[in-house]
Amino acid sequence: MERLRRLARILWVMSRYRLDRLIPELGWTSANVPVTVRLLWWFMPLRLIPAPAPSPGRCLRLAMEALGPVFIKFGQLLSTRRDLFPDELADELALLQDQVPPFPGAEARQLVEQALGKPVEELFAVFDEEPLAAASVAQVHPATLHDGTSVVVKVIRPHVEEVIRKDLMLLHTIARFLEKYLYDARRLHLVTVVQDYERTIIRELDLVYEAANTSQLRRNFPDSDHLYVPRIYWHFTRENVIVMERIHGVPVSDIAELERRGTNMQVLAERGVATFFTQVFEHNFFHADMHPGNIFVDVTDPESPRYIALDCAIIGTLTEEDQSYLAKNLLAFFNRDYHQVAKLHIESGWVPAGTDVVEFEHVIRELCEPVFQRPLKEISFGQFLVDLFQTARQFDMEIQPQLVLLQKTLLNIEGLGRQLYPELDLWQTAMPFMERWMANRVGPQAMLKRLVRDLPSLIESLPQMPERVMEAFGDIKRLQASAERQEQAMASLTRALERERTARRHRWLGGSVLMLAALLLWQPIAQAAAGGQELPIVAGVLAAATGLVLLVRG
């Protein structure tokens, strides 16, 4: 019953904002939408409700904000899929904010005491029940440890997991319905996207997971002048409570305050790009939720500003193969080697193996050449990848889920960098990282590094080498014996099949002879028997006997 009420609430919000207007916006025409869906759309009662003044994209954003945390965060994820949605719609989804009224501070205090097993007075010298910030999943309270250290206490909202899981079930139902009837939903692997999203948002409810990510990111940037990550206080951290160092900085979105403090915007923008590519190509561990609300700037030294990263619940990683293909693709784009780009897309499995390389190369050239006529600093790196994915759709390129977080983060970083410093040349800033990564993976120096890295384990395994070689020889002999047995079995099976074929031929021939004897000799034998002639009778009987023998032998 409760699920039905929630479904009714969703349908009411959809009706209120007339989300049916999005169907033409998404390009779902009669050519690519089944008849049943078109009929359902045309005869829906909600079409009788007057359309609100805001655009369909803005109405979608308002509807998702009205439906709560699951839909808000899912909309934020969909805002990165500019290869599927129009820019106006993606821009609106990117504006989704999960600022919500806080829950009572006394309830937060009670949750902290239950999680940590002690009264707040024993845990902290000061605990402020007035939150610093409140979001859809958690809220943050300032506090002071007994040694005078300023900290913040993040507390998961009560009962939020129950609400999230119910909404996730509905999202799964919607995704399965869309995949059944819409090609774009199948190409997007919408069910898989929802599954990945479910893992992401459920992890956001586990603050121990966030704390571990924060500690790892902090360890990756020790004493860095590019990025600072707050310290975690593990003895105060549980699944629904996390305590970390309180930071003081300027929100990265507050451009006016940064300029008032004399911040070197070029350095700040370039350090943001450098930090991103360091995480992707050197650490393979990147903060994948770097929207302005999670980034502050330390302007203690305005000429050397440093980022402060918060909320590490969403972390991205790539396999070594994806790293390699991504770096090779970007370098090939920079060098305008379109044939290499096409080959890499096919080799990586991003487009089907049977794709015509030459045709794909021509399409990529048509996309890239107009772009490269502009100065590099005017080229949007993230938008370029979006355009590439849109172009590759005609070759049935499927969305790579492992690249979704990367593209989302890249778009955020580039947009932020251009906002801070419009002259930012992201390509020039990124090139050294990709070239260094390739140099570390390919060539004699890379081989030597791998040898040095693997040498201790190789030396350790040397004493067992003779035994392993003998075991390998034994395995080879067993495989050979098994192969011989299989060969004998195949020969035996072949002979049996041949015997069966011969038997079938005998049965067919015997049956045919019997039928022929019956048809041709029945009347003569009857006449001979009536006239007392024995020879035809004997011949007929012998023919029948011969056919019977052949039939039996078959």
CA dist 372 and 461 (Å) reads: 52
Q: Could you tell me which residues are beta bridge partners of residue 306?
A: 298
Q: What angle do helix axes 381-392 and 357-372 make, rounded to 10 degrees?
A: 150
Q: Residues 20, 83, 289, 425: which is the catalytic one? A: 289
CA dist 327 and 406 (Å) reads: 13
Ramachandran class of 43: left when φ > 0, alpha when ψ lies in -120 to 50, beta otherwise: alpha
Is the four-CA dihedral 17, 20, 21, 25 of positive or negative sign? positive
3-class state of residue 127 by DSSP: strand
Nearest to 139 by CA among 88, 103, 166, 94: 103
Q: Which helix (H) or strand (E) holds 251?
A: strand 250-251
What lies within 8 Å, CB to CB, of 372 at 6+ separation is: 336, 379
Q: Alpha-carbon dihedral of residues 214, 220, 223, 227, nearest 10 degrees? A: -60
What lies within 8 Å, CB to CB, of 402 at 6+ separation is: 318, 319, 322
Q: Is 387 a catalytic residue?
A: no
State the greatest distance between any 2 C-alpha atoms of the chain, in Å, as a whole number: 134
Percent of residues in the chain assigned helix, strand, coil, to nearest 5: 65, 10, 25
Nearest to 66 by CA among 9, 22, 144: 9
Q: Which residues are catalytic?
A: 289
